[in-house]
């Protein structure tokens, strides 16, 4: 009997729990939380999937009106959905690329523990504490046509700032920049944690062998950071595909819908057009797309683990 509980360290003066009893207690304690989680998360997801296979009347009446894949076919053929999908992928790709370059550069600079790097770590983390919609509003004032911060600075130097929201590509750039500002702190902090956890021996050995800083970065540090980068990709893909606040506040999907993304499309489909079933189908497609992108990153991680 003693051996059954030998692996459970007991606090002095307390009686150790038996494993089965401990298991039951664990289930009893976690069940309420799991039920709440299921109700809060699984029910809306399940309802959305169910609604995507029914007509919009179902959302109003509650009575099933099964239409098979009709909503998915209708949404897939919708030119606004196609444009929003393309623009979302473009924004995600541009964001991912810039986040990788800037995030790694800043993380490496902060990792070198130069004077003031702790202060910079705090400063870089600030956007994480700001609600995306508030951040987007601040960027609206930075980019605002005619009186924004950029325009004001340009005028102080005798020039004129660009009309960010009146040009399709500049409007898209503004969305990417604002989104980058919101996302970069997460990348930096995770990369910093990854850099701190790197084993020092291979790095020191490389230095002794005369490897250049660039070689150390590309041949040793980056391969070792691959799992961390994969985690960032999984998290950021899930986040970036859902981009909403920045587009909604900065451009309102304009000009002429050219910065429309899947989330704003779904919002419009649901709450302007009252096409609840079509919106649900688009939401399901967005989840599939996000999952596929995240899965690709997970496979990247597994490949790394397999080789290790």
∠ CA 216-217-219, nearest 5°, is 65
CA–CA dist 97, 136 (Å, integer): 21
- Is 242 a residue that touches other proteins (CB under 8 A)? no
- Taking residue 302's Cβ as centre, other Cβ atoms within 10 Å add up to 12
Binding residue for other proteins (CB under 8 A) from 5, 154, 267, 291?
Answer: 267
Contacts of 297 (CB under 8 A, 6+ apart): 230, 233, 234, 237
Binding residue for other proteins (CB under 8 A) from 120, 145, 289, 300?
Answer: 145
| Shortest spacing between CB 247 and other proteins, in angstroms | 10
Residues of span 152-211 touching other proteins by CB under 8 A: 163, 165-168, 171
* Residue among 125 and 163 whose Cβ is closer to other proteins: 163
| Shortest spacing between CB 164 and other proteins, in angstroms | 8
Residue 39 has which token pair? 């109700």
CA–CA dist 271, 72 (Å, integer): 18
* Residue among 219 and 258 whose Cβ is closer to other proteins: 258
Contacts of 257 (CB under 8 A, 6+ apart): 80, 83, 84
Is residue 238 within 8 Å of 290, Cβ to Cβ?
yes
CA–CA dist 273, 161 (Å, integer): 37
Mask for 43-62, x = binds other proteins (CB under 8 A): ----------------xx--
* Number of H-type helices and E-type strands within the chain: 15, 0
* Residue among 174 and 182 whose Cβ is closer to other proteins: 174
- Is 239 a residue that touches other proteins (CB under 8 A)? no
Nearest to 75 by CA among 277, 238, 287, 290: 277
* Residue among 51 and 286 whose Cβ is closer to other proteins: 51
* Residue among 63 and 272 whose Cβ is closer to other proteins: 272
| Shortest spacing between CB 59 and other proteins, in angstroms | 6
Interface stretch with other proteins, choices 85-93, 193-201, 255-263, 296-304 (CB under 8 A):
255-263
E strand spans, 22-169: none
Whether the upstream peptide bond of residue 285 has omega within 30° of 0, thus cis, is: no
Mask for 2-41, x = binds other proteins (CB under 8 A): ----------------------------------------
Interface stretch with other proteins, choices 199-207, 211-219, 226-234, 247-255 (CB under 8 A):
247-255
Query: Binding residues for other proteins, per CB under 8 A?
Result: 59-60, 144-147, 163, 165-168, 171, 248, 251-258, 267-268, 270-274, 276
């Amino acid at each position: 009997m003693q051996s059954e509980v030998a692996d459970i360290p007991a606090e002095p003066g307390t009686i150790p729990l038996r494993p089965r009893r401990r298991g039951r207690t664990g289930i009893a304690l976690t069940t309420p939380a799991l039920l709440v989680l299921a109700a809060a998360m699984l029910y809306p997801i399940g309802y959305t999937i169910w609604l995507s296979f029914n007509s919009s009347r179902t959302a109003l009446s509650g009575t099933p009106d099964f239409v098979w894949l009709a909503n998915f076919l209708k949404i897939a053929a919708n030119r606004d959905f196609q444009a929003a999908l393309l623009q979302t992928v473009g924004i995600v790709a541009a964001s991912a690329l810039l986040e990788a370059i800037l995030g790694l550069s800043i993380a490496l600079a902060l990792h070198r523990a130069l004077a003031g790097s702790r202060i910079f770590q705090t400063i870089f983390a600030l956007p994480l504490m700001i609600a995306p919609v508030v951040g987007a509003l601040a960027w609206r004032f930075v980019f605002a046509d005619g009186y924004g911060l950029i325009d004001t600075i340009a005028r102080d130097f005798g020039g004129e700032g660009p009309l960010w929201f009146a040009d399709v590509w500049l409007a898209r750039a503004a969305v990417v920049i604002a989104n980058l500002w919101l996302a970069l702190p997460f990348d930096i902090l995770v990369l910093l944690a990854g850099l701190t956890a790197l084993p020092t021996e291979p790095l020191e050995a490389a230095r002794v062998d005369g490897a250049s800083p660039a070689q150390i970065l590309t041949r040793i540090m980056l391969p070792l950071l691959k799992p961390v980068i994969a985690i960032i990709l999984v998290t950021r893909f899930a986040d970036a595909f859902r981009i909403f606040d920045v587009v909604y506040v900065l451009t309102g999907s304009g000009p002429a819908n050219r910065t429309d993304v899947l989330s704003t499309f779904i919002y419009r489909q649901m709450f302007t057009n009252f096409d609840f079933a079509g919106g649900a189908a688009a939401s399901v497609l967005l989840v599939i797309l996000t999952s596929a992108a995240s899965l690709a990153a997970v496979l990247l991680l597994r490949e790394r683990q397999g080789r290790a």
